[in-house]
Amino acid sequence: MIEFFSAIADPAVFATVLRVMTPLLLAALGVLISDRAGVLNIGMEGIMLSGALIGVLVSAATANPFLGLFAALIGGGLLGALMAFFINGLGTQFIITGIALNMAALAATTLGLFLATGDKGMSGALKSGVLPNIDIPLLGGVPILGPLLSGHHMLTYLAILAVPAVAIMLARTPFGLHIRAVGSDPKAAAAAGISRNRVQLYALTLSGVLGGAAGAYLSMGYVSWFAQNMTAGRGFIALAAEVMGMGTAWGTFAAAAVLGIAETVAITMQTKGLPSELMQMIPYIVPAVMLTVYAARRQAKARKIS
Partner 1 sequence: MTRAILAGLTEFALTALVIGLVILAVLVPLALSQPDPLEVLRLFVLGPFGTIRHMGNILEAATPTMMTGLAATIIFRAGMFNLGVEGSFFLGGLAAAATAVLLPLTGLIATPAAILIGALVGSLACIVPGYLRVRFGASEMVNSLVLNFAFLFAGVYFLNYVLRDPNAGALMSYKLPGDFTLDRLLQGTRLHTGVIIAFVACLLGGIWLYGTRSGLNVRIVGWSPGFASHLGLASSKLLMQAQIAGGLIAGMAGAIEVLGLYSRFSWTGLPGHGWTGITVAILARENPFLVIPAALFLAYLQVGGDMLARNLDVPSEIVGLVTAAIMLAVTAAAIFRHPAFLRLIRDIKGKEAGEEQGA
Partner 2 sequence: MAEGPIVSFRGVSKTYPNGTVALTDATFDIRRGSIHAICGENGAGKSTLMKILFGLESPSAGQVLIDGAAVDTATPDFAGKHGIGMVHQHFSLVPILTVTENIILGHEPRRAIFIDRNKAHRQVVELTQRFDLAVDPDARTDTLSVAAQQKVEILKALSRDTRLLILDEPTAVLSPPEIEELFNRLRDLCAAGMTILFISHKLHEVRALAETVTVLRAGKVVGTTPLAEVDDTTITRMVMGRDVDVPRRQRQRTDAPVVLELDNVSTRARDPADRIEDISLSIRADEIVGIAGVDGSGQRGLVGVLSGLMRPASGSIRLDGTDMTRAGTPGWREAGLAYLPADRHARGGTAALSLADNAIAGTDGDKALQWGPFLRRGAIRRRVQQMIADYAVRAGGTGERLDSLSGGNAQKLIAARELAGSPKLLIADQPTRGVDVAAAALLHGRIDLAARDGAAVLLITADLDELLRLADRVLVLFNGKIVADLANHPGLTPAALGPYMLGLETAA
115 binds, among partner 2, partner 1, none (CB under 5 to 8 A by kind): partner 1
Q: Does 165 bind partner 2 (CB under 8 A)?
A: no
Q: Does 246 bind partner 2 (CB under 8 A)?
A: no
Torsion of CA 204, 112, 56, 63, to 10 degrees: -120
172 binds, among partner 2, partner 1, none (CB under 5 to 8 A by kind): partner 2
We find the least distance from the C-beta atom of residue 165 to partner 2, in angstroms, to be: 11
Residues 157-176 that bind partner 1 (CB under 8 A): none
Q: Does 91 bind partner 1 (CB under 8 A)?
A: yes
**Nearest CB to partner 2, comparing residues 10 and 185:** 185
Residues 127-156 that bind partner 1 (CB under 8 A): none
Q: Does 189 bind partner 2 (CB under 8 A)?
A: yes
**Nearest CB to partner 2, comparing residues 63 and 190:** 190
Q: Does 177 bind partner 2 (CB under 8 A)?
A: yes
We find the least distance from the C-beta atom of residue 104 to partner 1, in angstroms, to be: 4
Query: How many residues make contact with partner 1 (CB under 8 A)?
Result: 47
Q: Does 126 bind partner 1 (CB under 8 A)?
A: no
Applying CB under 8 A, which residues contact partner 2?
A: 168, 172-174, 177-178, 180-181, 184-185, 187-189, 191-194, 305-306
